[in-house]
Structures are given as C-alpha cells and as structure tokens.
Amino acid sequence: MTAPHRSPLTTVLAGSAWLAVAGNLALWQALWQLPDLHDGRGVVMGLVLAGMVFCLCVSILSIVSWRGLLRPSLVILAVISALSTHYMLSYGILIDTPMVINVLQTDLGEARDQLSLSVLLSVSLIVLPLIGWMWRRPLAWPRWPVQGVHNLGMLLGGVVGTLLLAYVSFQDFSTLMRNQTQMRYLINPLNTVYALAEVVLIPTQVDQQIRPLGEDAQILPLPSRLVKGTPSQPEPPWGKQPPLLVIVLGETARSSNFSLNGYARNTNPGLQRLDVLSYRQVTSCGTSTAASLPCMFSHLGREGHEARTAEYENLLDVLKRAGYQV
C-alpha cells in the first residue's frame, strides 16, 4: 500500500516551522541571555520573533515551491542553518556579508580543516529529521499554473504575516533590534540569504574598472655604504640585489571573543597551551579576513574602503609594478 501524498503547502509550512525553531538555537539562546526578557513580555517577544522568522521562511520557500526544487532547497537551507548555528554557538560568530564573502573565498584545504565530529553531529541533528519527514511521503503537485497561484498566495501570506507581527509588537521589536544589533545576524537562514543577495549586488554598486595607483613606483638603489661594504660594514648577504620584503598576515578575529583577553568561554585553548602574548591594543578594518585584508592594503583607509564606489589597485599591485615578485 502506497503512502498518501502530501501537499507542497504542508511541506512549506512544516519546513518553515522547523527552520524557525531548530535552525535558530543560537538566536533563542541569545534572547534567553537578555535579563530584560525573563518575564511574560520576553516570552511574547520570543514567540513574535519566531512567528516572523516562520513567515519569512514561508515567503522564501514559496519562490522555490516547484516540482523537483522544493525539497532540495529546503535541505540546503537546513544545512546552512545547521552550520551557522554550530559556529555561532561554538565561536560566537555572526553571519553577515563579510562573513559570507569569507566563506565563499575559502579553499578546499581550509574547508577540510573545519570538518569535525561535532560539526557532523550538529548538522545531522537538524537536517536528518527534516529529510526523514519530507521523504516519507511523495508530494502531490498540481499543474504549474495552479501551483503558481498557490506559490503567490504563500508569498503574500508570509509577507502579510510578517508585517502584522511586526506591527503588533513594534515597540518591543524595534527596541530589541536597536539595542541588540547583533540579533539580526543570528536569524537563520535569513541572514545568509540576505548576505548572499548583497554579495550578488556588490558588482552593481561598485564600478568594477580597476583604477591604477603608483604607476611610477620603482625600487630605489640601496645606499652605497650598504652595497660596497667596508671593513666595519661588510657587504650585506643580498649583495646588489634589493632586500626581500616579507609581510606576515594571519587570520582576523574578534578580540572581544578571545579568552586570552578575558572572554568567559575558552575560545583559545590551543594558544593558551603555547603561553603566547596577546597584544590587545591592535585593530583592523574588520572581524573577517575577507574584509580586513583588502582594506589593509588599500590607500583609502577603513571608512573610505567600506564606502568606495570604485575599485583601485592596492599596495601589492604597486610593489609588483616596482619590481618585487609578489
């Protein structure tokens, strides 16, 4: 006997509810840690926020609610939410546009280093129950014009539901988002979807033609006292060749989340065993490598780099033009 069919609407609603609850454990933990929300008002705020996440997930899934597309898309969103939740809870990271760019620029070796039993367990606990439920029954798909109408209804319903929930709890919700700005970057999978949309739109906001800098750059000859050598100053080991320029760069991280700097959670067990020194009076252009490195080599400075409307060459380009092999 074949299992009864399930409607796409049921799958969208159940999948959205699962993403809103199980896929946002980091968000619910962050809310619970706010002392002002340990009362009835806090419970209502949590329910309203969960309802808004649910409605927005319905709107997103309505766009991909087509035969052969809905269930794979739901699995992808669940995997993204599970991975985000794991790293949020483990390392206190936030999912914003620079973080997504950083992930997209990660090579295979770096990605392999991130795989662990805890990651696989976190993903399995969130994704496998959803997969098991979705594939227990086949979906009953109507003809595509009818499904298109259904999808439009789900999209509008999700948007209207979000607006209504925001309206009835506008004061508390706006206060929360204004005072706890990090909360918006904890909402899975909406944070990743929004960041990916921004990544796609960046080329349309910034002129991609690269402006040259330092076109007359050259390596100046060394002072004669360093080239010829004297009894008191022997010839340097590099002879008449220019010295090698070495720039050592490391990963960028949020200093406030370092246990070496007083953070409560032990986030630096490996470094702590090495008995290293932590230089606390150090800043960078951002808390992700993808944001800080380009800014570090830019002539625009932090504010100018973030607000730029055109692309420019950087220090490495100038050094290469001068004669260094970069």
pLDDT tens sequence across 164-217: 999 988 888 888 888 888 899 999 999 999 999 888 877 666 667 888 888 888
CB neighbour list of residue 114: distance below 8 Å, 6 or more residues apart: none
Please report the pLDDT score of residue 157 as a whole number: 96
CA distance 261 to 271: 12
Q: Which of 82, 93, 94, 92 is nearest to 118 (CA)?
A: 82
Element (H, E) at 109: helix 108-114
pLDDT tens digits for range 73-84: 999 999 999 999
pLDDT tens digits for range 271-302: 888 888 888 777 777 767 777 888 888 888 88
CA distance 165 to 78: 24
Bridge partner list, 210? 311
Angle 25-32/40-63 helices, nearest 10 degrees? 160
Angle 70-91/25-32 helices, nearest 10 degrees? 40
Considering only the C-alpha atoms of the chain, give the largest distance between any 2 of them, rounded to a whole number of Å: 98
CA distance 277 to 283: 16
Q: What is the dihedral of CA 284, 290, 295, 297, to 10 degrees?
A: 100
> Reduced to 3 states, what is the DSSP secondary structure of residue 311?
strand
Least confident of 61-65, 103-107, 249-253: 249-253
Quote the tokens at residue 104: 């997209």
Residue 65 zone, left/alpha/beta (φ > 0; ψ -120 to 50; rest): beta
Element (H, E) at 92: none
Please report the pLDDT score of residue 221 as a whole number: 65
Burial of 40 (0-12, 13-18, 19+ CB in 10 A): exposed
pLDDT tens digits for range 35-74: 777 777 778 888 899 999 999 999 999 999 999 999 999 9
Q: Using only C-alpha atoms, what is the Rg of the chain?
A: 26
Quote the tokens at residue 314: 């950087």
Angle 70-91/190-205 helices, nearest 10 degrees? 100
CA distance 206 to 199: 11
Q: In this predicted model, which residue has the larger pLDDT, 245 or 242?
A: 245
Inform me whether the pLDDT recorded for 7 exceeds 60: yes
Domain-wise residue ranges, the chain: 8-203, 210-322
Q: What is the CA 78 to chain-centroid distance, rounded?
A: 16
CA distance 290 to 102: 5
Please report the pLDDT score of residue 192 as a whole number: 92
For residues 246-257, average pLDDT: 73
Is the Cα torsion angle 284, 288, 291, 296 positive or negative in sign? Answer: positive
For the ranges 195-209, 218-232, 254-268, 274-288, the one whose mean pLDDT is highest? 254-268
CA distance 110 to 100: 15
pTM score: 0.74
Q: Which of 23, 80, 104 is nearest to 288 (CA)?
A: 104
For residues 2-16, average pLDDT: 89
Please report the pLDDT score of residue 125 as a whole number: 94
Looking at this protein, which amino acid is placed at residue 214?
G
Q: Which of 126, 30, 26 is nearest to 85 (CA)?
A: 26
For residues 117-126, average pLDDT: 92
